[in-house]
Amino acid sequence: MTLSTKLSPELSPTGTDHRDGYVPFPAEAARAYRDAGYWTGRTIGHLLRDTATATPDRPAVLSETGTQTYAELDEAADRLAHGLLALGLTPGDRVVMQLPNVPEFATALFGVLRAGLIPVLTLPAHRRVEIEHLARLSDAVAYLIPDKLGDFDYRTLAEEVQSAVPTLRHVLVVGDPGDHTALADIANHEAHQSLPTPDPGDIALMLVSGGTTGLPKLIARTHDDYVYNATASAEVCALTADDVYLTTLPAAHNFPLACPGILGTVAVGGAITFTLDPSPEAAFAAIQRHGVTVTGVVPPLAQLWSAAVEWEDADLSSLRLLQVGGARLAEANAVEVEPALKCQLQQVFGMAEGLLNYTRLDDPADLICTTQGRPLSPADEIRVVDADGNDVAPGEGGELLTRGPYTLRGYYRAPEHNSRAFTPDGFYRSGDLVRQLPSGHLIVSGRIKDVINRGGENISCDELEEHLLAHPAVRHAAAVGLPDTALGEKVCVVLVGTDLPTLPEVKAFLTARGLATYKLPDTLRYADALPLTAVGKIDKKALRAS
Ligand code: OOB
């Protein structure tokens, strides 16, 4: 066998190799991460198997309907894996997963992984534009959805996506399948063949980028790097088998999934629970009911939860740690958390691309309230650079560049973008403006990339503007983020043209184009012209100030 055939796994029926377009860690770096013990050769499937072997009767998933033990979760994942392979899916095939925070999320994720399939983890709020793009980009063969969430029917969305993406052969549904396949029907499959053993250096799953320009990008994470991400995060949070993690943010997002989230909790044998509704009423009830000890939220929720203790009378005494991240937490809100919720605050500054920063449990209170934490790993390399790419003096502000054992070396199938988003020696240009204290803690001051961060969801201005310009009455369009006390930033759209649509009409127009709900504008302004910079770009700074 030649080296090349050994390295390239069998092609799936779609004819595409999942590693085609993947940018691996350079061999030398990979060896160093392995030698230093950051990469252990465990797969994500091993995390569950090891816990299920050590503590089979411990609770893994807590829900309204009961408790699933580790032995049960492990077995359910294996059965689903066999069912998926029996359907004709082949290891390495991509599966677009769009499950909300339901208990089935855990079985589905581990089942897909155990079959050697690669989950593409999309968010419940994604709609046709995003799902079609991600399914096409990944050559997905299956799409895993709930039946309905609120009044949105994912089975209808699946039909639209399926008719546009020919590789998508299977739609699997949690709940009432309609004309599709019920996950429950294939999840009871007995073992007929052995399950694949993935290479720990191979792609485990794909996360969706917050998106800086245009449509979201895919971030392929390997077993080695993602297991490290989850286990090192669990250690920083001192997670143990006695912890109960509440998945408050959408489970498919990197923060609740692996920082330390679901995977970090499974690694230490703790219990996971889910809430579909992050409001204080629902989340506090879940905390009381399941004895939740740790959860993670975005800043607007932290603010709301801190205020809600005044009118909600749930018992939150089990909660020991509230992680807050995804967007900048104002110091004024940071200081409110501990007195209100009677638990410790941890700031988390992370990105699906990799790098995670955490305030440490034993950090002094002022560092916890005024910084966004310090890098998770001793092997995280941080550079802060000026507009010309030169390192700034220590303590000065600049763009954060990073490289390390769990940070991507390139987006999946995006060579052109990668040439701009990475330095030649493999540092990821985060687009975040930071300064670093002598302690290593980072303070985030903003972004150089043009993105609106609405309650922790990143919205690409470019993408939104492109859709607005498709409206016949719109001549020029600009999207800017405006400060908002509840959301951090809200979406403001400025339009130039004649007979322009009203805000409800703009929303209806974008919705009809299949745009995600969280990207819809909150406010609308009309203008005679847009301000321009010296080189003729739209001057967003001036717009924001006007
Ligand atoms: C998390 O991941 P993404 O990929 O949705 O968004 C990453 C971007 C960062 O580049 C930064 O611009 C912003 O979101 N961000 C923060 C922040 N945390 C993220 N900006 C200021 N302060 C913070 N604490 O958002 C994410 C991933 C893992 C853990 C936590 C958050």
What integer pLDDT is reported at residue 190 of this predicted model?
76
Count how many residues are written for the chain: 546
Which residue's alpha carbon is at the smallest distance from atom 6 of ligand 1?
351
Substitution site in 209, 324, 349 for ligand 1 pocket (most atoms within 8 Å of beta carbon): 349
Predicted model pTM: 0.88
CA angle in degrees (0–180, nearest 5) for 28-33-35 = 90
Question: Can you name the residues that pair with 143 across neighbouring β-strands?
Answer: 96, 171
Atom of ligand 1 nearest to the CA of 432: 12
327 touches ligand 1 (CB under 6 Å)? yes
CA of 350 to the centre of ligand 1 (A): 4
Instruction: Give the three-state DSSP class for 497.
Output: strand
402 touches ligand 1 (CB under 6 Å)? no
Q: In sequence order, which residues have a C-beta less than 8 Å from that of residue 3 and are 6 or more positions away? A: none
Q: Is the dihedral of CA 384, 328, 419, 91 positive or negative?
A: positive
Q: In whole angstroms, what is the distance from residue 9 CA to residue 203 CA?
A: 12
| Number of separate helices (H) and strands (E) present in the chain | 19, 27
Question: Can you name the residues that pair with 479 across neighbouring β-strands?
Answer: 493
pLDDT in tens, 25-59: 999 999 999 999 999 999 999 999 999 999 999 99
Task: Evaluate whether 167 touches 140 at the Cβ level (below 8 Å).
Answer: yes
Task: Evaluate whether 538 touches 545 at the Cβ level (below 8 Å).
Answer: no
Token representation of residue 534: 């010296």
Token representation of residue 97: 């997963």
Place of tokens 């303590």: 395
323 touches ligand 1 (CB under 6 Å)? no
Token representation of residue 138: 């990944």
What integer pLDDT is reported at residue 2 of this predicted model?
34
Question: Can you name the residues that pair with 460 across neighbouring β-strands?
Answer: 451
Q: In whole angstroms, what is the distance from residue 83 CA to residue 536 CA?
A: 56
Q: In whole angstroms, what is the distance from residue 29 CA to residue 246 CA?
A: 35
Which residue's alpha carbon is at the smallest distance from atom 14 of ligand 1?
326
347 touches ligand 1 (CB under 6 Å)? yes
Token representation of residue 102: 């339901």
47 touches ligand 1 (CB under 6 Å)? no
Q: In sequence order, which residues have a C-beta less than 8 Å from that of residue 148 and are 6 or more positions away? A: 154, 155, 175
Which residue's alpha carbon is at the smallest distance from atom 7 of ligand 1?
351
DSSP 400-433: EEEE-TTS-SS-TT-HHHHHHHB-TTS-EEEEEE
325 touches ligand 1 (CB under 6 Å)? yes
Which residue's alpha carbon is at the smallest distance from atom 3 of ligand 1?
351
Token representation of residue 339: 């007195």
The 3-class secondary structure across 441-454, one letter per residue, is: CEEEEEECCCEEEE
CA of 236 to the centre of ligand 1 (A): 18
What integer pLDDT is reported at residue 211 of this predicted model?
55
Substitution site in 351, 458, 459 for ligand 1 pocket (most atoms within 8 Å of beta carbon): 351
Atom of ligand 1 nearest to the CA of 347: 24
What integer pLDDT is reported at residue 213 of this predicted model?
52
Q: Which residues of the chain have pLDDT under 70?
A: 1-16, 211-214, 449, 533-538
Place of tokens 């916890």: 368
Instruction: Give the three-state DSSP class for 97.
Output: strand
pLDDT in tens, 276-298: 999 999 999 999 999 999 999 98
DSSP 179-236: TSEEHHHHTTPPP-SPPP---TTSEEEEEEP--SSSS--EEEEEHHHHHHHHHHHHHH
Beta strands in 51-174 (DSSP E): 59-63, 66-69, 94-97, 118-121, 142-146, 148-149, 152-153, 170-174
